[in-house]
Chain A
Amino acid sequence: MKKCKIVINGKLCELEIRDAELLIETLRERLGLLGTRYSCLEGDCGVCTVLKNGKNVLSCLILTADCDGDDIVTIEGIGRGEAPHPLQNSFVEKGAIQCGFCTPGMILAAKALLDKNPRPEDAEIAKALDGNLCRCTGYVKIIDAVRDASKKL
């Protein structure tokens, strides 16, 4: 077992974890943060996306023990039902959600983009979200939502 200290959604967590534990396992099974999802577990689909030190990364390919000292943000950390993030509002308003399975990863990837580039072109939005797959929407409304949020932020 390993001890590590990670800031998760703004809160310092002192964890005792298995050496071989993946970050997605820690977030979901130890901390109950279910917005980060299992799917391909190979780094292809993006539903396990979290922000690590401000950058969107794939929690299914990260060992928790290797995150000692890092700052992790999950979808639960960027807005709640009573106070959603502007990105979450835009996704709802623009109809960018159907089944909702890819949505947390998409929003976090979009947040990482807008934090670095507040007024992206559509091609830049598409490139920034290239690690997140959606089987439902066809991506057009997702790009509309990110563009809309960029005007509000």
Chain B
Amino acid sequence: MPILKDFKFHAPKTLSEALGLLDKGKTSLLLAGGTFALNTLKKTSRFPSDVISLRKIGALQGIKPQGRGLWIGAMTTVADVAGSKLIENMFPSLAQAASSLGTTPVRHMATVGGNIASRFFWADLPAVLISLGAKICVAEKNKKETLPLEKFLPERSLKKFILTGIFLPENKMSSFYFRHTRAVQEVDAPYLALAFSCSRKGARLQDVRCIVNTTLSLPLSLKNVEALFENIARAKIAAREIQEALRKDTENSKLDAYRLHLLSADLEKLAYEKM
């Protein structure tokens, strides 16, 4: 007996062809790497009429300098992001997050755009990209738009769109990434991640961005923690100030005491060892 119920498969070669198919289809599913979409199809009763593969669209591939920054095509695999020397030099926290996502075969298949569009938060990429100031490029049938990634993620009103790529502005920022896992039936499952970036002016930090992937919901921006780290000389941040700022930032979140403890330890490490 076949594993998947029938649908009509399409493999367009251009973005406009794909958008046309998406617009015409009754209930269409866009297929990037397939690690999320095909898994979901095996478990759902809401089956698409059409599946549109984005694999053959060259305009969605690649990692290249663009203006004063870097463009990553939405169909670039996570493995290619992890292995890119450009990304390792310019945005080391992104290279680290990509190399620890899933497993080796999953990284060979999963794409950056697919991970963002699926809003599957077991991967830390969205949180790290937000911390680096990423902008996402979205194409609909009659318009294209670029918006900050943190504005795209909670936005559910867009229905028929294709993510074309991510733009990372060049900056002289330091970036850090902390990842925590827990054992779930002999597998290390993602549990919590912290993505931090900043620029320096003498002994002080500026443009601080501190984003948490709780793995439970949308990435969380720690505004009070960011304000604490900004414009304060490193040696003067007290542990209790970090804990107080963290408490304010997370009081409406679902984070348990252990996750808060891990975050606090990561932030103290940043303040006292990494800076």
Contact = CB atoms under 8 A, between A and B. Distances in A.
On whether the two chains bind one another, the answer is: yes
Interface of A: 2, 18-22, 25, 41-44, 46, 49, 52, 55-58, 60-63, 65-66, 68, 109, 127-131, 133
Contacts of B109: 57-58, 61-62
Given A22-B3, A25-B2, A62-B109, A131 B104 contact: yes
Interface of B: 2-9, 11, 31, 34-35, 38-39, 42, 51, 53, 55, 79, 102-106, 108-109, 186-187
Nearest to B42: A41
Contacts of B79: 55
A102 to B, nearest CB: 13
B55 A55 contact: no
A-B pairs, 4 with minimum CB distance: A131-B103, A19-B9, A131-B105, A20-B4
A137 to B, nearest CB: 14
Nearest to B39: A42
B255 to A, nearest CB: 26
Contacts of A22: 3-4, 38
A25 B105 CA distance: 19
Contacts of B31: 63, 66
Given A2-B9, A25-B2, A56 B34 contact: no
Nearest to A116: B83
Contacts of B5: 20
Contact of B38 (A61, A65, A130, A131): A61
Given A55-B79, A65-B9, A66-B31, A127 B104 contact: yes
Nearest to A65: B9
A62 B110 CA distance: 11
Contact of B2 (A20, A43, A44, A130): A20
A148 B22 CA distance: 51
Contacts of A129: 104
Contacts of B102: 131
A66 B34 contact: yes
A83 B42 CA distance: 38
Contact of B105 (A2, A68, A109): A109
B34 A20 contact: no
Given A58-B109, A61-B35, A130-B104, 13 more contacts: A25-B2, A41-B3, A42-B42, A43-B35, A43-B106, A44-B187, A46-B103, A55-B108, A56-B104, A56-B105, A56-B108, A58-B106, A131-B106
A14 B138 CA distance: 36
Contacts of A68: 11
A127 B53 CA distance: 29
A25 B3 contact: yes
Contact of B9 (A20, A52, A62, A109): A20
Contacts of A20: 2, 4-7, 9, 51
A17 B106 CA distance: 25
Nearest to A21: B2
18 contacts: A2-B9, A20-B4, A20-B6, A20-B9, A43-B39, A43-B106, A52-B108, A55-B105, A57-B108, A58-B105, A58-B106, A58-B109, A61-B39, A61-B109, A65-B9, A65-B11, A109-B105, A127-B104
